[in-house]
Homo-oligomer: A and B are copies of this chain.
Amino acid sequence: MNNNKKLVEAITSMDVDFAQWYTDIVKKAELIEYSSVKGAVILRPYGYALWENIQGYLDKKFKETGHENVYMPMLIPESLLQKEKDHVEGFAPEVAWVTHGGSEPLTERLCIRPTSETLFCEHFANIVQSYNDLPKKYNQWCSVIRWEKTTRPFLRTSEFLWQEGHTIHETAEEAQEETIKMLNVYADMFRDFLAIPVVKGRKTDKEKFAGAEATYTIEALMHDGKALQSGTSHNFGKGFAEAFGIRYTGKDGKLSHVHQTSWGLSTRVIGAIIMVHGDDSGLILPPRVAPTQLMIIPVAQHKEGVLEKAEELRGKLSGVCRVKVDASDKKPGWKFSEYEMKGVPLRLEVGPKDIENNQVVLVRRDTREKMIVSMDELETRIPALLDEIHDALYEKAVKRQEEMTTTVTTPEEMRDAADNKPGFIKAMWCKELACEEKIKEVYGLSSRCMPFEQEKVADTCVCCGKETDTMVYWGKAY
């Protein structure tokens, strides 16, 4: 009873306090639990199942595109971390340092990986000799630690799960192709699997990864108008290769440095799912990532034949969707609330009268639409409905993003948008760091990316008035 009571307590409305609404959901939908470890959270079965589904989708795509999984040590010697100057500057302030093994002090400090470029580089330098050894296209699923002062579940935690791809290539063209290809794998997953539209583009130099030549990003817009950087792909050029000596003998017999990329996506995407699709009743999960797509709830389940029919339907439908029956002794109303909170895309109600009429009640989580459906049609209707829900969620998110994107051409308009129009702001930029910093300081807006789909919304930089061709998405960000 305790659990039920907690579940049906209303959560904070997102209009009243978006941050509290978010915290309520992650706890009450049982995605995470806090522990005594500061800044880290426990991924509970329902939260972890989301990550497993994301892993399943991506791992398949990575393998289809010729990548192999490996596993690197989690500890990095301080001297190795320091080999690439920009990289160590970027990460050293936020790593956890291991200083003792058992009761003995270590001769050299080791940091827990905040990311694994240095380890991959050392390994590549060891195993690559000739052009025959190229390309190497590796990926790793692991946890990393970045010591954060203020944390929020999924969005910013000291420890998080992610994948990091690391590849090396003969030519600059191949490396650039790989960088963009993997960004597209992320963007496609957001559209096809998570029903979330993204803006694809390149980060400014100020916002790029420590040690990268160029960083590309997918940026998604949350319900509250803030942007979430949701996946990044970096072209390192030869920077790391030169620092770590990753060289190969080419077909011409000459020694050259490799061209390198890395790309990563983390459990942060679960935060995006929550903040793009959720509502005041809880999570709304896009069907393809949902651990349970259809929840069968027997009505008057003590009556003869009801539980048996529910179980029979589960068996029949398990071939076309991920389905469960809740046969616990909670009241149907409690169960409805629980699976609304957990965002299960479809609910199926079946009671004595339904059985008599050879029908069931289907209820969509996203629209709450109720449908009476013949039992004979379920195996075709349910997969079709799941696709409809996916499409509807995507369309809704696209529409919201369009409505929450403001184009500005003058400082006054930018002021107004920053203060009164939550969402993306499109504005021209001269590519000077000074203007980017001023926009950050004056309006509280960071550059999200220079989108691939450029539009010349004006001829001049919104900040300094200098002529430019570059349009940038600006926003407040998580």
Contacts and interface: CB of A to CB of B under 8 A. Distances in A.
Contacts of A161: 71
Interface in A25-66: 33, 35-37, 40-45, 48-49, 51-52
A260 to B, nearest CB: 17
The number of times this chain is found in the oligomer is 2
Given A70-B45, A73-B40, A73-B159, A100 B97 contact: yes
Interface string A136-156: 001000110101000000000
Interface stretch (A118-126, A194-202, A342-350, A416-424): A118-126
B3 A132 contact: yes
A300 interface: no
A388 to B, nearest CB: 29
A156 B132 CA distance: 33
A37 B75 contact: yes
Contacts of A48: 68-71
Given A35-B72, A37-B76, A73-B42, A103 B93 contact: yes
A106 to B, nearest CB: 9
A130 interface: yes
A463 interface: no
Contacts of A245: none
A371 interface: no
Residue of A49, A112, A126 most packed against chain B (CB within 10 A): A112
A129 interface: yes
A189 interface: no
Given A99-B97, A101-B96, A147-B101, A133 B3 contact: yes
A263 to B, nearest CB: 18
Contacts of A434: none
B93 A100 contact: no
A122 B103 CA distance: 25
Interface residues of A, number: 60
A167 B148 CA distance: 32
Nearest to A109: B100
A98 interface: yes
B112 A42 contact: no
A338 to B, nearest CB: 13
A102 B93 contact: yes
Nearest to A123: B42
Given A40-B75, A70-B48, A74-B145, A35 B100 contact: no
Contacts of A36: 77, 80, 122
Contacts of A325: none
B52 A69 contact: yes
Nearest to A4: B132
A477 interface: no
* 9 nearest A-B residue pairs (beta carbon): A40-B73, A45-B68, A101-B147, A43-B71, A97-B100, A37-B73, A99-B99, A96-B98, A93-B102
Interface of A: 1-3, 33, 35-37, 40-45, 48-49, 51-52, 68-77, 80, 92-103, 110, 112, 119, 122-123, 126-127, 129-130, 132-133, 138, 142-143, 145, 147, 158-159, 161, 328
